[in-house]
Chain A
Amino acid sequence: MLSSTGHPFIFLLPVLAFVIFWVMAKFEPKPVGVTKKSFFERNGTPVAIYLIVAVAFWALFMIVLPQLFMVEMSFRPKLPPVEMGGPKDLYTFENYHYFIYGSTTSSDAINWVHIKAFFLTILASLLVALFNFALCYPLAYYMAQAARPARVRFLLLLLIAPYWVNEILRAFAFRIIFSSGGLINKMLLGAGFVDQPIDFIGNDIALYAGLGYAYMLMMIFSLYNAIETLDHAQIEAARDLGAPWWHIHSFIVIPFAKPGIASGCTLVFMLSAGSLAAPLVLGGPRSLWFTPILYDRFFQAFNWPQGAAYAFILLLACVSFVLLVLRLGRLSLGEIAK
């Protein structure tokens, strides 16, 4: 199929969705005797126009259409600009084919490097999310249920402060600590534990530590907000009935805070799987991470359609993760995106 048909079709999609909902609304049986004000009457004309224009611009031109264009591009071949829209511009799976089988010039049957990087990224992001949960849960619980308000305020301030420093500088700080001439190696050498510096960066230890550090705040806040709404009387009651502390946590606090846990884990997973700064700064020459590969599709291979395909693969992974978390926790999207 010629790919010049793609763009008009994409522009038609939102119109179609709008028409479907409009027709549904028109044919919906109205409750008798209740006259509802129209949208314009309820908001006043100027405000109503502002709402429609703003929401339409944001939803269409900043969210939906860009994503659809990117997906559409991932099915196009790489062509010089003159040939775009020409007879060679046919929809193809070659970019996805490349992800799995690699280029025709490579001797390997399967594109192991990219596939391994992809699954390693997913796995490591999962572990980062779990590690963050384990690290942050006690503090979130303490702040939400045990600490005095003045102390909570102070702790919140302490927690937020490091996050005003941007991601690259935070990664840079880890580089200073973990590099071969860095603080930890100096201390280990000085104490005589090792006789030559440990290559933390080459072993990806620095990368994982940096990722764990980078997104702690998201986890803390999701957990804190969820646990804070739990009535302390429930914990008291359980304690009075003789429940040991781990019963209280596993049967009362954690089930109650499920939406917060889900949202914290989703956010941390998504942020680390999509993180670019930490792998660029903390990755060694042989580090495998998916986003730098994606970055190179654009800026070294100059193959945009292929980059778009890789981005779409990453997006699918994140969407599946969100759906999986929702299914496992029996939650709705509204409960975790707060």
Chain B
Amino acid sequence: MSSKTVMNVMLAFYMAIFFGFLFGPLIVMGISSFNTSTYPQVYPIEGLTLTWFEKLLNDRDMVYGMKNSLWIGMWVVLLSVPLGLAAAMMMSQIYSKARSFYYVIVVSPVLTPGVIIGISTVVFWRDLTTATNSKFLYDGVFLAVLGQSSFISAYCMLMFMSRLNRFDRAQEEAGLDLGASQTQVFFHILLPFLRPAIFSSAVLAFLSSFENYNTTTFAILADKTLTTVLAGRVRQGTTPAISALAVLIIAVTIVGAIIYELVKRREDRERQARLDAAHAAELRELESIEKATLHA
């Protein structure tokens, strides 16, 4: 047996262990959600059933928490994406001696444990709203949006920074030379250039918000989101209805991932088609110039 085959066998073995560890727990959970046994178990299968899914949909707290989570997720996207963009644009323009100071501040939420972000958000807004007598701002959903956006904006900022690194300043100058105002350059050149980053940071922001627990459990106060309801349920005891929820989330995810992949492929194809067309046009032009010079 050559050393290459040995390597391949070892690689296959390692991959099997790795992905077994990655998917094993989810598969176990998935199977348990269809088993009739009241304790989530895989073996023995006592019978197949969909009762757990029905139980889940009739669980009022769960449905309420789900709606709240979606609502918070939407606001987090609307807040974090613009904040992240502004912070990324500021990075290259800020006074050079203040830059590393600024960088430490805006990156710190990524490296701060989520519980601490949640606690500090609640402490700050409680004191601020008491001091200014604006108690209506001391609201679970509002604080959850702010607490989550605090670090999700940093994720978005990092994504925008890596996209902005590839921005060709000549495009901006060309726009200005052709008489566009700075504002027009921003809306007609920079934003279209950033579109992929805006899209992917919006997706990331929504997902991070939807599945967040550490920050939300403090910031949500007396209100509920899907994750806090779930945490309560799991602590009370284990029921296959929770597995059923996981199965639903996985199913939605897979569909979402497929759609995302298809959209991306179509965009790639369209871009390729545009490039090909431009290339063909260029060739034609060159040919006609060549012909003209030959005739002359």
- Is A58 interfacial (CB-CB < 8 Å)? yes
Please report which residues of chain B, range 1-43, place their CB below 8 angstroms from some CB of chain A when the two chains form the complex. 11, 14-15, 18-19, 21-26, 28-29, 32, 39-43
Q: How far is the CA of A66 from the CA of B215 in the complex (A)?
A: 13
- Is A169 interfacial (CB-CB < 8 Å)? yes
Q: How close is B18's CB to chain A, nearest CB, in angstroms?
A: 6
A274: chain B residues at CB < 8 Å are 112-116, 214
Q: How many B residues are at the interface, by size bracket? A: 35 or more
| B contact face: mostly helix, strand, loop, or mixed | helix
The answer to whether A161 and B257 have CB atoms under 8 Å apart is yes
Q: Which residue of A lies closest to B261 (CB)?
A: A157
Q: How close is A73's CB to chain B, nearest CB, in angstroms?
A: 5
A308: chain B residues at CB < 8 Å are 119, 123
Q: How close is A240's CB to chain B, nearest CB, in angstroms?
A: 16
Q: How far is the CA of A305 from the CA of B19 in the complex (A)?
A: 44
User: Chain B interface: which of A109-117, A231-239, A291-299?
Assistant: A291-299
- Is A120 interfacial (CB-CB < 8 Å)? no
A176: chain B residues at CB < 8 Å are 25, 28-29, 32, 40-42, 238, 243
Q: How far is the CA of A64 from the CA of B230 in the complex (A)?
A: 31
The answer to whether A69 and B26 have CB atoms under 8 Å apart is no
The answer to whether B115 and A291 have CB atoms under 8 Å apart is yes
User: How many residues of chain A get a CB closer than 8 Å to chain B's CBs?
Assistant: 89
Q: How far is the CA of A258 from the CA of B18 in the complex (A)?
A: 23
A69: chain B residues at CB < 8 Å are 120, 123-124, 127
- Is A222 interfacial (CB-CB < 8 Å)? no
User: Chain B interface: which of A44-52, A100-108, A191-199?
Assistant: A44-52
A215: chain B residues at CB < 8 Å are none
- Is B201 interfacial (CB-CB < 8 Å)? no
The answer to whether A183 and B43 have CB atoms under 8 Å apart is yes
- Is B62 interfacial (CB-CB < 8 Å)? no
- Is A173 interfacial (CB-CB < 8 Å)? yes
Select which of A61, A168, A175 is within 8 A of B227 by beta carbon.
A168
The answer to whether B253 and A161 have CB atoms under 8 Å apart is yes
Q: How far is the CA of A277 from the CA of B108 in the complex (A)?
A: 22
Select which of B24, B102, B115, B238 is within 8 A of A295 by beta carbon.
B115
B102: chain A residues at CB < 8 Å are 59
Select which of B25, B117, B127 is within 8 A of A173 by beta carbon.
B25
Given A161-B253, A298-B119, check contact A270 B104 (CB 8 Å): no
The answer to whether A165 and B26 have CB atoms under 8 Å apart is yes
Given A173-B25, A176-B29, A270-B111, check contact A165 B124 (CB 8 Å): no
- Is B89 interfacial (CB-CB < 8 Å)? yes
Can you list 12 contacts pairing A with B, beta carbon distance less than 8 Å?
A7-B127, A41-B182, A51-B90, A51-B93, A58-B106, A161-B257, A162-B22, A177-B25, A181-B41, A270-B113, A333-B100, A338-B162
Closest 6 CB pairs of A and B: A274-B113, A44-B182, A166-B211, A54-B86, A173-B25, A66-B120
